[in-house]
Amino acid sequence: MNITIRRSDQDDFTAILSLIKEFAVFQKTPEKVTITLEQMEKERELFESFVAETAENKIIGFASFYFTFFSWSGKGMFLDDLYVTEFYRHQKIGSRLLNAVIKLAKEEGCKKMRWQVSGWNENAIGFYKSIGATIDAVEINCNLDLIDVSG
């Protein structure tokens, strides 16, 4: 199967948004997706990702990320989402997407990468452990939605 991994551009946003919604269903939290195509376009300078694309130009996976600064280690990369649509899983596409992000992080001088994984997703946990990632059972996510917060 001929799959190309490349940096995304604004023309890919419709397909990526569809995959974001598909990923949220996979995570059993579709109600949490509030992003719109218009918002993605307006905030495009903040959205970075790699996409996996078939020979027929169909986007079947993505890895979104951003550069950050970790106070304990310095410049870093945060992998926001990594998703491959179900039909194309178990073909090393997720590995290729992740490797593209890792390669970019190294080229940009990042000292560390960080991301989240759902505790129930044993396949993903095993995949991340297989590349040498440490799964932290101490940290707990904190989220504060600023859209609906009063005050």
CA-to-CA distance for 28 and 16, rounded, in angstroms? 18
The neighbouring-strand residues paired with 5 are 52
pLDDT at residue number 148: 64
- The predicted-structure confidence for 66-88, as pLDDT tens digits, reads as follows 999 999 999 999 999 999 999 99
CA-to-CA distance for 148 and 59, rounded, in angstroms? 33
109: left (phi over 0), alpha (psi -120 to 50) or beta: left
Concerning whether 83 is annotated as a catalytic residue, the answer is: no
CA-to-CA distance for 59 and 56, rounded, in angstroms? 9
Q: Which residue among 66, 83, 88, 128 is the active-site one?
A: 128
Q: Is 38 exposed, middle or buried (0-12, 13-18, 19+ CB in 10 A)?
A: exposed
Q: What is the pTM of this model?
A: 0.91
- The predicted-structure confidence for 4-24, as pLDDT tens digits, reads as follows 999 999 999 999 999 999 999
